[in-house]
Amino acid sequence: MKAFHRVIDIQADLIAGSLTCVELVNHYLTQIQEKAHLNAFLEVWADEALDKARLVDAKIASGSYGKLAGVVIALKDNLSYKGHKVSASSKILEGFEALYTATAVERLEQEDAIFIGRTNCDEFAMGASNENSAFGPVKNPFDESRVPGGSSGGSAVAVAAGMCHCALGSDTGGSIRQPAAFNGVYGLKPTYGRISRWGLLAYASSFDQIGPFAHSLEDIALLTQIMSGADSQDATAIQEGPLDTWTYTEKKNRRFAVMKQAVEHPGLDPEVRDTFNQLLDKLRALGHEINYIDFPLLEQMVPAYYVLTTAEASSNLSRYSGMMYGYRSPNATDLESTYTRSRTEGFGPEVKRRIMLGTFVLSSDQYDAYYEQALKVRRIIQNETDAILDHNEALLMPTTSTPAFKLGEKSKDPISMYLADLFTVQANLAGNPAISIPSGTTQSGLPIGVQLMTSRKSENDLYDLSELIQKLF
């Protein structure tokens, strides 16, 4: 099977008759089987995917088919798809079946996408290594002793290792961009509200966004365009129609901002720094402007992110009480012990840590010192980000400070794990769109990603700037 990088190339072959959707699905099913040890999928919907493939083949033969005909997609295990299991990789939801379909998933389905299965992730999307899954870690296909990143690790690996064409993830603080960088694929976190969150299992509602993983910018733009647009089920979705279809517009003399604190950060891996600096040189040589800016707030971002997201998580996850749905402890004797036993036995350690931290920062004694303070920091970060993007067209930085780290390397030390989000949380704190673009590999063959962020609601400009950058790799 050819390695397809773009939906349009798949569709050209489908229309020419040299390929069928059934062949494509069978190919991916074989790949999933051969690479099962990577643990990227929690469930594979083989029969259903083949049924849909036959249906789409018939539609192609009849000449009337959707924009995603022939596109085989994997869904992160925190997206609801009616009648299918969804567990957020948590024991507390093991066996639970979605009662409705997420708006984003439904919009893809209407365009004839074929869903092949649900992918492993960190429990409730809390993590940066996929080691917090109740169903075991995912392995990085470039080096199986390393993490795939998280929390959408399974989705990134499924795309990188050729087990599906595209995948969906969710990004609260970097969970699409960081695993995309660790696996050499594109990953986008759209503007907050660009894609409805209806049907996404909530972690931190004012941060969460659904987004795609793909092998090309074109496919990132296509999937996002289809999923975008207002939705009566999500009041935080941007009240606008879908994004315009993207076509590349070349512009000269573009202005990129680079944070001094990021390029000079002591934790930045030398190979990541060199790759990044070489990119800056190439951009300058092409006549683009690189403006170094001072951003002392960099060190405040991760703490503000963790205060606010754990606060929201403590509220969002209170619904898993053992009463309405999900796991109920068989060891409970009364109402009170049903709550405590079910939650104690159902949640993993990282989720419990965050619920406790979030409950603490919201408690009446601590609220002013932590939650309110973090809200103020968030506002300052938003204002400063806007100011940078008033004078520059994009903010450019490495997606992560290091390539994929070893399994087990950070899992005993939450603080060092949290610092894996150093460069990615800003886009979620401020609500801006940000993308990770593959930017080569280290000497030892580990992928490196570069991140580009533009102002809110400017995805199509983000793709134009990304096109310019991807050409340099």
Based on the shown chain and the rule CB under 6 A, indicate whether residue 183 belongs to the binding site for ligand GLN.
Answer: no
Based on the shown chain and the rule CB under 6 A, indicate whether residue 174 belongs to the binding site for ligand GLN.
Answer: yes
From the CB of 173, what's the least distance to ligand GLN, in Å? 3
Residue closer to ligand GLN, measured from CB, 70 or 211: 211
Instruction: Give 326: exposed, middle or buried? Use CB within 10 Å, 0-12, 13-18, 19+.
Output: buried
Q: Choose, by CB under 6 A, the member of 130, 151, 196, 392 that binds ligand GLN.
A: 151
Which residues make beta-bridge pairs with 436?
A: 187, 451
Based on the shown chain and the rule CB under 6 A, indicate whether residue 90 belongs to the binding site for ligand GLN.
Answer: no
**Structural contact between residues 67 and 219, judged by C-beta atoms closer than 8 angstroms:** no
**Structural contact between residues 457 and 332, judged by C-beta atoms closer than 8 angstroms:** no
Nearest to 355 by CA among 137, 92, 86: 92
The verdict on whether 282 is a catalytic residue reads no
Q: How many angstroms separate the CA atoms of 469 and 466, rounded?
A: 5
Q: Identify which range of 101-109, 172-180, 265-273, 315-323 contacts ligand GLN by CB under 6 A.
A: 172-180
Based on the shown chain and the rule CB under 6 A, indicate whether residue 131 belongs to the binding site for ligand GLN.
Answer: no
Q: Which of residues 412-431 bind ligand GLN (CB under 6 A)?
A: 421
Residue closer to ligand GLN, measured from CB, 183 or 392: 183
From the CB of 386, what's the least distance to ligand GLN, in Å? 22
Q: Of 87, 89, 90, 151, which one is the catalytic site residue?
A: 151
Q: How many angstroms separate the CA atoms of 321 and 300, rounded?
A: 33
Q: How many angstroms separate the CA atoms of 445 and 447, rounded?
A: 6
Q: Identify which range of 167-175, 229-237, 388-396, 398-406 contacts ligand GLN by CB under 6 A.
A: 167-175
Q: Choose, by CB under 6 A, the member of 87, 133, 172, 439 that binds ligand GLN.
A: 172
Based on the shown chain and the rule CB under 6 A, indicate whether residue 361 belongs to the binding site for ligand GLN.
Answer: no
Q: Identify which range of 60-68, 169-177, 260-268, 363-371 contacts ligand GLN by CB under 6 A.
A: 169-177
The verdict on whether 76 is a catalytic residue reads yes
Nearest to 378 by CA among 329, 425, 312: 425
CA angle 141, 142, 147 (to 5 degrees): 70
Q: Identify which range of 125-133, 214-222, 256-264, 284-292 contacts ligand GLN by CB under 6 A.
A: 125-133
Nearest to 308 by CA among 386, 262, 376, 383: 376
Based on the shown chain and the rule CB under 6 A, indicate whether residue 171 belongs to the binding site for ligand GLN.
Answer: yes
Residue closer to ligand GLN, measured from CB, 267 or 445: 267
**Structural contact between residues 51 and 116, judged by C-beta atoms closer than 8 angstroms:** no
Q: How many angstroms separate the CA atoms of 145 and 27, rounded?
A: 26
Nearest to 354 by CA among 179, 149, 132: 132
Residue closer to ligand GLN, measured from CB, 112 or 208: 208
> How many of the chain's residues bind ligand GLN (CB under 6 A)?
13
The verdict on whether 412 is a catalytic residue reads no
Based on the shown chain and the rule CB under 6 A, indicate whether residue 173 belongs to the binding site for ligand GLN.
Answer: yes
Q: Choose, by CB under 6 A, the member of 117, 127, 154, 433 that binds ligand GLN.
A: 127
Q: What is the bridge-based pairing of β-strands 434-441 and 394-398?
A: unpaired
Nearest to 446 by CA among 408, 404, 409, 410: 404
Residue sitting closest to ligand GLN (CB): 175
Q: How many angstroms separate the CA atoms of 243 and 458, rounded?
A: 10
Based on the shown chain and the rule CB under 6 A, indicate whether residue 125 belongs to the binding site for ligand GLN.
Answer: yes
Residue 297 structure tokens: 């707030």
CB atoms within 10 A of CB 400: 30
From the CB of 82, what's the least distance to ligand GLN, in Å? 23
Q: Give the residue numbers annotated as catalytic, written as ranges.
A: 76, 151, 175
Sites of contact with ligand GLN (CB under 6 A): 125-128, 151, 171-175, 203, 309, 421
